[in-house]
Amino acid sequence: MKKTLFEVQQLLKKFGMIVYTGSRLGDLELMEEELHELYEMKMIEQELYLESRMILKAEMQKERDKNE
């Protein structure tokens, strides 16, 4: 069970995906896309995908709130 953004980053890193665009919101959006691709290719289970996506969505909302 994933609980933090760091754990999601480590999951992506396991598949050779390191995301850094220079924009935190951009990074989160790209991580979400990469996560979705892993799920579509059946490389991760649905539960792991949903948990990780929820974490990313929460972090994106925090970032948007901070920039308002």
What's the average pLDDT block by block, 10 residues per block, for the chain (68 residues)? 88 95 94 97 97 96 91
Predicted pLDDT of residue 2: 65
Q: Is residue 64 within 8 Å of residue 10, measured between CB atoms?
A: no
Q: Quick one: which of 37, 40, 31, 38 has its CA closest to 58? A: 31
Residue 43 tokens read as 């490389």
Q: Which ranges in 1-68 belong to alpha helices (H)?
A: 5-14, 24-40, 46-66
Indicate yes or no: pTM above 0.85: yes
